[in-house]
Structure 1
Amino acid sequence: MLLGRRNLMLAAAATGLARPALAQSEPIRFGWLAALTGPGSSAGIGFDRGIRFAAEEINGAGGVKGRKIEILTRDTQGDPTKCVNATQEMINRLKVHTTWGPCNSGESLAATPILARAKMPNMHPCVVDQLIDPAKYPNAFRQAPSNRQWADAAHRYCLDVLKIRDIAVVGDTTGYGTAASDASEALLKQLNANVVGKYLIEAQQTDVTADMTRMRNAGAKVILIWSVNGGYLSRIINTRAQMGWDVPIVGHPTLGSGEVKALLAKPENWEKVYMVGYRSCSFDAEGKLPPRSAEFVQRIAGKITLSDTSLWWVACGYDALRLVAAAVQETGSTEHAKTIEYWNGLRGWPGIFGNYTFSPTEHNGYPGEDVVMSLANSNREGAFTIAPGYA
């Protein structure tokens, strides 16, 4: 009996013959594990703006090989339990092709093993060193600096530029705050710095005066702080001013966030605060950004607000989605293994935030020499001025 055209199509679909054509037309599902609300949401909001702008650009130009990018977002609120649930949903129900995030290391510590078991391509900006291990997690790639790279820049600034060796290491009690503070303390001791104490303070603690008094009494000449919580950081900065303690504060990029600025008791409280920054998102002596970043800022003008966020967050998110799009463009596939293979072969891939290099044995892709310290109070449309002491 002759089969009609409709029956032939149904038969092909039943035997899998129609699947390749379907796969070539379905959206590229980008799973975004985002902390968009909650106390650690400053970075997530910035990343989100860059991700969505990249998707608008790519989809507006026809997509990738005719396939549009679909962003599937789950707000984890910075909670590891919520992040685990969202990760499992991404894998099992939403069937995403790749994931980006989480944007908090405490969450990523919980999600990374789950993503590895699913062999899910995962790019993230989380800095805790143990999150990247190509042997243990061959699917996980770091797009931002590692905590070691951040710490090296901050330690060099304290010891070599400020010429201070008596250091109080401070963190909050989150997974990130604890791990980063532990690592920083150990590295400083290797450099023969005098760590006067390590202080882990609950991020929601409203009064930090007693803790900071202990730091001062211990002889601290600089506060080295690791936290993504803007409210917590602002309380440290405000309390320093209330105590009349003229001590530099050095550390995490969130020190320069809009959230911190909004919570300062006085603008002058922000003096002598030095945050981790990046050459790609820093003004030079003439007040100019690098050409690639300057062009990007012009392109997003009127479309993305930078006054309440950091340019590097937006640029990093923008690069993240483009790295996924590039994998599909070059391999013609959204298969997990193909994406991972493509990322493993990147050499100096030119992003806005940085030039990324990965290999099968090195999944830290950001160039360490581009990590610098910036003046936290120098934010101009999301970019900062490099701190004194750099050539």
Structure 2
Amino acid sequence: MSLVRSRMPRLLGALLATILVVGLLGGCGASSQSAPQPSQSSAPKASESSKPAASSQPSASASAPASAPAAPKDPIKIGVILTTSGPIGPIGNKQMMGLTMAVEDINAAGGIMGRKVELIQRDDAGDPTKALTTAQELVEKQGVTLVVASTLSSPALAILPYFTEQKVFSLGSQTSDAANDPKKYPYGFTAQPLASVQAQVVVRYAVDVMKVSKVGILVEATAMGKSTADAYKKELEGKGLQPVAVEQIPQGAQDVTAQLNNLRKAGSEMLMTATLGADSVRIIKNLKTMGWDVPMLGNSDLFTAVVVDGAGPENMQKVYAYNPARLSFSDKTPPPAKAKEFAAKLAKRLNLPTLKDAFQQESVFYDIMYIIKAGVEKAQSTEGPKVAAAVETFKGFDGVQAAYTFDKDSHAGQRVDQEVLIKAASLKEGFFEMAPGY
């Protein structure tokens, strides 16, 4: 009995020890399910040394894919140098509207070669010196190789040599023939008809349709004005005629009576003009004040709301302007569908039921952006020389305003067959009635 009693404490101790060991083993077994297994090292394998470590990858529950997404492509930066302030500011702002509409449409459709377009806009205020300074800033600080420029010919002539030196592609609305020199300015283009083209349209109508032989010329004292006057004279010479007088007015002149009196005294039966905005208004009003009832034929600015509203449509019954055929109509020829669609789109953007003004500037700059897009895509590059070489091959590029053709001899996209003469005060939903005889 004493032996049994002496062994009991030892048996109880052994039993308790056994229970404790089993409990500990059970606890270790449960925790081993979440612990890393010795054979599953967290270090990358030698063959996977180029892969990111597991800790840097998205978790399985993340919405992103296992591989990191490609970084978004940088936008294509395009410089813009237009005249958006001063007397010509309304024209430049219309041009900017067309550009903006095109960029919105292009970006909504995926951009250019998968890259969004970003416009970097600057105002040259119609000043050649400011235009050059602005061009240098865009190229040297912003790094652009593509530029939309210019509104006017004088600023264009100031920046084209610099763009040639820097190999920057530019496309604008300058009309001076001096700016259209592919050998001198291999990367400079314009989408507007040159002064020489405008002159052909005007002179042909004056001489062949209206049968006028005594022509007076009145232009602004700018590169555009001089180029147009020279073109008028050349076209008249081709018809065996000479102008009876040629007069110039400074841009923004407050009084043009002296010039008009000189033209009247010379026996002018018609005026051929090249002026813009308020200057055109002043001429028409002065003609009315003088009681001089003479036809006036000129550039497209004559049919803008600034001129028609400023001069009064009742004073413009004998005022005619050149206009793209696609933005014109007659009882035989309605506007094309593409132009009508753009007019409706612009009216909607302006919160108007129909357009109350010409849309020549908006449409040509809408087209300019698409010409640049096509040039970049054909060249597969944004380098100025490559884009210029691509655009130089475009034949009949189908835009809203015209079918544009460029080649190595002419970087002006609108040729004479794209233009007609219209009644300046005949606006109908953005379009104009062709002059009698078309």
Normalised to the residue count of structure 2, the TM-score between the two structures is 0.80
CA displacement at 1:345 relative to structure 2 = 1.9
Determine if the alignment matches structure 1 residue 341 to structure 2 residue 389: yes
Contact 1:103 1:124 in 2 (8 A): yes
Q: Which residue of 2 aligns with 1:267?
A: 313
CA displacement at 1:307 relative to structure 2 = 4.1
Structure 1 window deviating more from structure 2 (42-51 vs 241-250): it is 42-51
Contact 1:185 1:198 in 2 (8 A): no
Structure 1 window deviating more from structure 2 (296-305 vs 269-278): it is 296-305
Task: Return the alpha-carbon distance in structure 2 between the equivalents of residues 81 and 205 of structure 1.
Answer: 21
Determine if the alignment matches structure 1 residue 280 to structure 2 residue 337: no
* 1:384–1:56 Cα change, 3 Å: same
* 1:278–1:211 Cα change, 3 Å: same
Structure 1 stretches lacking a partner, 5+ long:
7-20
CA displacement at 1:354 relative to structure 2 = 1.2
Quick one: which amino acid aligns to residue 255 of structure 1?
L
Quick one: which amino acid aligns to residue 181 of structure 1?
A
* 1:205–1:357 Cα change, 3 Å: closer
Q: Which residue of 2 aligns with 1:380?
A: 428
Task: Return the alpha-carbon distance in structure 1 between the equivalents of residues 52 and 176 of structure 2.
Answer: 57
CA displacement at 1:367 relative to structure 2 = 2.8
Which structure has the greater CA radius of gyration?
Answer: 2
1:151-170: per-residue Cα shift (whole Å, max 9, x none)?
00001111111110101111
Q: Which residue of 2 aligns with 1:244?
A: 291
Q: Which residue of 2 aligns with 1:233?
A: 280
CA displacement at 1:362 relative to structure 2 = 3.1
Q: Which residue of 2 aligns with 1:124?
A: 172
Task: Return the alpha-carbon distance in structure 2 between the equivalents of residues 205 and 98 of structure 1.
Answer: 35
Quick one: which amino acid aligns to residue 61 of structure 1?
A
Determine if the alignment matches structure 1 residue 294 to structure 2 residue 357: no
RMSD (Å), alpha carbons: 2.2
Task: Return the alpha-carbon distance in structure 2 between the equivalents of residues 356 and 335 of structure 1.
Answer: 22
Task: Return the alpha-carbon distance in structure 2 between the equivalents of residues 111 and 376 of structure 1.
Answer: 32
CA displacement at 1:64 relative to structure 2 = 2.1
Determine if the alignment matches structure 1 residue 134 to structure 2 residue 175: no
Structure 1 window deviating more from structure 2 (198-207 vs 241-250): it is 198-207
Superposed, 1:147-186 pairs within 5 Å as 147-186=195-234
Quick one: which amino acid aligns to residue 158 of structure 1?
A
Structure 1 window deviating more from structure 2 (304-313 vs 161-170): it is 304-313
Contact 2:343 2:355 in 1 (8 A): no
* 1:81–1:5 Cα change, 3 Å: farther
Structure 1 window deviating more from structure 2 (291-300 vs 139-148): it is 291-300
- For the residue of structure 1 that corresponds to 2:96, the secondary structure is helix
CA displacement at 1:41 relative to structure 2 = 2.5
CA displacement at 1:287 relative to structure 2 = 7.5
* 1:263–1:118 Cα change, 3 Å: same
CA displacement at 1:62 relative to structure 2 = 2.5
Q: Which residue of 2 aligns with 1:12?
A: none
Q: Which residue of 1 aligns with 2:141?
A: 93
- Kindly indicate whether structure 1 or structure 2 has the higher relative contact order, using CA contacts under 8 Å at least 6 residues apart: 1
- For the residue of structure 1 that corresponds to 2:435, the secondary structure is coil
Task: Return the alpha-carbon distance in structure 1 between the equivalents of residues 272 and 388 of structure 2.
Answer: 36
Q: Which residue of 2 aligns with 1:78?
A: 126
Quick one: which amino acid aligns to residue 284 of structure 2?
I
Task: Return the alpha-carbon distance in structure 2 between the equivalents of residues 116 and 158 of structure 1.
Answer: 38
CA displacement at 1:298 relative to structure 2 = 2.8
Task: Return the alpha-carbon distance in structure 2 between the equivalents of residues 300 and 246 of structure 1.
Answer: 36
Contact 1:28 1:97 in 2 (8 A): no
CA displacement at 1:322 relative to structure 2 = 0.9
* 1:280–1:93 Cα change, 3 Å: same
Contact 1:355 1:366 in 2 (8 A): yes
Task: Return the alpha-carbon distance in structure 2 between the equivalents of residues 169 and 193 of structure 1.
Answer: 13
Among 174, 195, 205, the residue aligned to 2:243: 195
Contact 1:258 1:307 in 2 (8 A): no
* 1:195–1:316 Cα change, 3 Å: same
CA displacement at 1:66 relative to structure 2 = 2.4
Q: Which residue of 2 aligns with 1:362?
A: 410
Structure 1 window deviating more from structure 2 (186-195 vs 311-320): it is 186-195
Contact 2:347 2:355 in 1 (8 A): no
Task: Return the alpha-carbon distance in structure 2 between the equivalents of residues 359 and 225 of structure 1.
Answer: 29
1:5-32: per-residue Cα shift (whole Å, max 9, x none)?
79xxxxxxxxxxxxxx98x811111111
Q: Which residue of 1 aligns with 2:64?
A: none
Quick one: which amino acid aligns to residue 65 of structure 1?
M
Task: Return the alpha-carbon distance in structure 2 between the equivalents of residues 138 and 207 of structure 1.
Answer: 40
- For the residue of structure 2 that corresponds to 1:42, the secondary structure is helix
Structure 2 stretches lacking a partner, 5+ long:
1-48, 54-69
CA displacement at 1:277 relative to structure 2 = 0.8
Task: Return the alpha-carbon distance in structure 1 between the equivalents of residues 378 and 157 of structure 2.
Answer: 30
Normalised to the residue count of structure 1, the TM-score between the two structures is 0.89
Among 324, 328, 331, the residue aligned to 2:372: 324
CA displacement at 1:296 relative to structure 2 = 2.1
User: How many pairs are equivalent?
Assistant: 372
Contact 1:42 1:309 in 2 (8 A): no
Structure 1 window deviating more from structure 2 (324-333 vs 213-222): it is 324-333
1:66-108: per-residue Cα shift (whole Å, max 9, x none)?
2111111111111111111111112111111311111101111
CA displacement at 1:142 relative to structure 2 = 2.2
Among 250, 255, 259, the residue aligned to 2:302: 255
